[in-house]
Amino acid sequence: LELAEITPGFVGADLTSLCREAAMHALFRNCRDSVCPVEMSDFLEALKKIQPSSFRSGIGLTDFKPVSWDQIGGLEDVKLKLKQSIEWPIKFPEAFVRMGLARPKGILLYGPSGCAKTMLVKAAASSSHCSFLAVNGADLFSPLVGESEKILSQVFRQARANTPAIVFLDEIDAILGSRSETKTGCGVQERVLSVLLNELDGIGVKLTERRGNKTEMENESQN
């Protein structure tokens, strides 16, 4: 059960590669012993090298070093809100259904650079055993017409294929621009915003119907 919780999005071939890598790690760890049992620590080391196959040709950051809440000093109120919004719907889905509570579709984190926005999201992904996709403007924007929208849709398809997942849009204000600016309705930022809103409307709907307790969460960061 513990291994299943930390391998979201893994298909059979991925699990085979993970087991093989864990066995090799156990062999090197106990190279002088006749018996080499594979322990959970071996799987954790193997996870540093093995990713879900759907992430290998993906966009943006999909691999990161796990972060615990204790590694982030202070910000207790922010950490509590993130736990309530991300962890609780995943860990206690029956309670949310019983009380008629809707799961948040997205969270906006804002503040100056260096205030631990990215670390907070990584901690939430680590504690919730979620797949993690981090995307910024450089990953999204393309000189080709329609390519940026296609890339954003692909990011959400990756997230749905690896649920539960967190999509982290870093510096979303740079990606979408300011609402106070004149909008013509035909710029790339307007088209990306339209795709983003459509994807947000679809978060959790199909997954709730098919899997019950699976979820996909988007986090946005604004400096």
For each of the domains in the chain, give its residue range(s) and CATH number, in order of start: 1-55 (1.10.8.60), 69-202 (3.40.50.300)
> Residues near 97 by Cβ (< 8 Å), separated by ≥ 6?
none
pLDDT (0 to 100) of residue 116: 85
Q: How would you write the pLDDT of the chain (223 residues) with one tens digit per residue?
A: 567 766 766 777 878 888 888 888 887 877 666 677 788 877 877 777 777 766 665 566 666 677 888 888 888 888 998 888 888 888 888 888 888 887 777 888 888 888 888 889 888 888 887 778 888 777 777 777 777 788 888 888 877 877 778 888 887 777 676 555 545 555 777 777 877 877 777 654 443 333 444 445 555 555 5
pLDDT (0 to 100) of residue 192: 78
pLDDT (0 to 100) of residue 205: 43
Which of 89, 152, 172, 162 has the alpha carbon at shortest distance from 124?
Answer: 89
Q: Tell me the per-residue pLDDT of 83-125, one tens digit each, with 9 for 90 and over.
A: 888 888 888 888 888 888 877 778 888 888 888 888 898 888 8
pLDDT (0 to 100) of residue 214: 44
